[in-house]
Amino acid sequence: MQKNLLIIIILLSSYQSAFTQKKFDLTIELDKTIDSKKISCSYYNGKNNIFISDTFTNRVLNLKDKFYSSFVSFHIEYKKNDSASYVNDFFVNEKLARITFQFKPDEQDKVLKYSNIANAVAIYDTNANKIFKQLVRYRRKEALAVSDLWEKHANEIFANDSLLSLNKKLFKALNIRTISFLKNYSQNYFAFWYFRTEVFETSLIFLKNDTSFLKTLIVSARSFFPKKYIESTEGQAIIKRLEGLINPPKVNKAAPLFNIKDIREINIQLDDFKGRYVLLDFWATWCLPCMREIPFLKKIRNEFPAEKLEIIGISEDMDIAKLKEAIVKNTINWIHIFDEGNKIESLFGIITIPTTILINREGVIIYNSGEKEDKEELIRLLKTM
């Protein structure tokens, strides 16, 4: 009996390993109408967005990696000039895939065209993706309302309360309409992918303070997407992010624990810093307000010794190479974590960056700039260490 049980466990382990270690092989080819130096690529593997730092050799780039979702979503952008970018997105799986791109100016849709494709699906091509074609028709009215607002007021929306309120209202209507369509195709990976990239992610930007709507997203995701999607790494990341925004840890509450490697591959456990104060800085190199905070954080680092205060930078960057470059360039001398999949952000319910959180010796949050920013109060708390 024990022997049979052991065999079953080994077989299950092998099955799980095979399932989670799928591999894709994608070759990208550029014709002579495209300058390869102006191409940028990335792909989502079911866990993280991976930005491609490799360069093209003889106008060809081969990508191979593991993936953990039903498909890899590949994104390509051709920055023709400062004002014009042409993009396209594709699904690929374990089949050997190849796409040849060519540049054909199109001021209306700004899509980077392809001349040949094998074992890949152009996600936003209404001929190749019939579900997307139906979706475009189904939510046309709501999508046009959002598009019209941005075409007329793109530079004013975030500086004008009435326009910002209208923008939120229109995006909410668009997302509700989208959800009502996607539930009819919930078994198809495209529906789940679109829910994550277009509904969930836009809600994080424009509707992150609408807890009622965020709860609706959780209920919707759990009610109509199958377990293979919602219980995957990809699905659980969505749920945890939403739950963190709905019920973020507050001041005077215990800080949620995390265990993760920093950019030096050293294991960082929040629990290990009990007995010391910990300052968490949620930031990104592309965030100008975040970069302006660096001198203030350096002042704190110089004024309070490391044996009493640990500073941990938690980056929302998408490209770890750019993060490391910025750390060296700006001589930022504290622990840095590349928060892939926004795991720690989700735990702390971070809505905007920069956000600074101070945790005391007992592991309790005593300051959160996301609730109320007060640098003088932060310094006062640090001086009580």
**In b/e form, how buried is each residue of 63-96, taking b as 16+ CB within 10 angstroms?**
beeebbbbbbbbbbbbeeeeeeebebbbbbbeee
Domain boundary among 246, 277, 306: 246
Same domain, 378 and 263: yes
- The answer to the question of residue 111 being in a domain is yes
User: What is the DSSP code string of 266-297?
Assistant: -EEEGGGGTTSEEEEEEE-TT-HHHHHHHHHH
Pairwise CA distance, residues 112 & 34, whole Å: 10
Percent with pLDDT over 90 in the chain: 74
Same domain, 231 and 174: yes
- The answer to the question of residue 291 being in a domain is yes
Per DSSP, the chain holds a count of helices (H) and strands (E) of 13, 16
Same domain, 263 and 379: yes
Pairwise CA distance, residues 246 & 204, whole Å: 11
Q: Domain tally for the chain?
A: 3
**In b/e form, how buried is each residue of 338-349, taking b as 16+ CB within 10 angstroms?**
bbbbbbbbbbbb
Q: How many CB atoms lie within 10 A of CB 351?
A: 15
Higher pLDDT, 194 or 343: 194
Q: Which residues pair with 100 in a beta bridge?
A: 29, 116
Q: How far apart are the first and last CA of the chain?
A: 59
Same domain, 70 and 180: no
Domain boundary among 192, 220, 246: 246
* Segments forming the whole domain that contains residue 79: 19-122
- The answer to the question of residue 185 being in a domain is yes
Same domain, 318 and 234: no
Pairwise CA distance, residues 286 & 290, whole Å: 8
- The answer to the question of residue 8 being in a domain is no
Same domain, 264 and 362: yes
Residues 6+ apart with CB under 8 A from 57: none
Same domain, 235 and 282: no
The DSSP H or E segment spanning 309 is: strand 309-315
**In b/e form, how buried is each residue of 32-50, taking b as 16+ CB within 10 angstroms?**
eebeeeebebbbbbbbbeb
What's the pTM?
A: 0.80
Domain boundary among 246, 280, 298: 246
User: For the domain that residue 74 is a member of, what is the CATH number?
Assistant: 2.60.40
- The answer to the question of residue 12 being in a domain is no
Same domain, 273 and 356: yes
- The answer to the question of residue 84 being in a domain is yes
- The answer to the question of residue 309 being in a domain is yes
pLDDT band, residue 82 (cuts 50/70/90)? confident
Same domain, 269 and 379: yes
Q: What is the pLDDT of residues 109-160, one digit of tens each?
A: 789 999 999 999 999 999 989 999 999 999 999 999 999 999 999 889 988 9
CA-CA-CA-CA torsion for 136, 229, 20, 42, nearest 10 degrees? 30
Average pLDDT over residues 341-357: 89
Pairwise CA distance, residues 295 & 292, whole Å: 7
pLDDT band, residue 20 (cuts 50/70/90)? low
Cα dihedral sign, 350-352-356-358:
negative
Res 11 pLDDT > 60: no
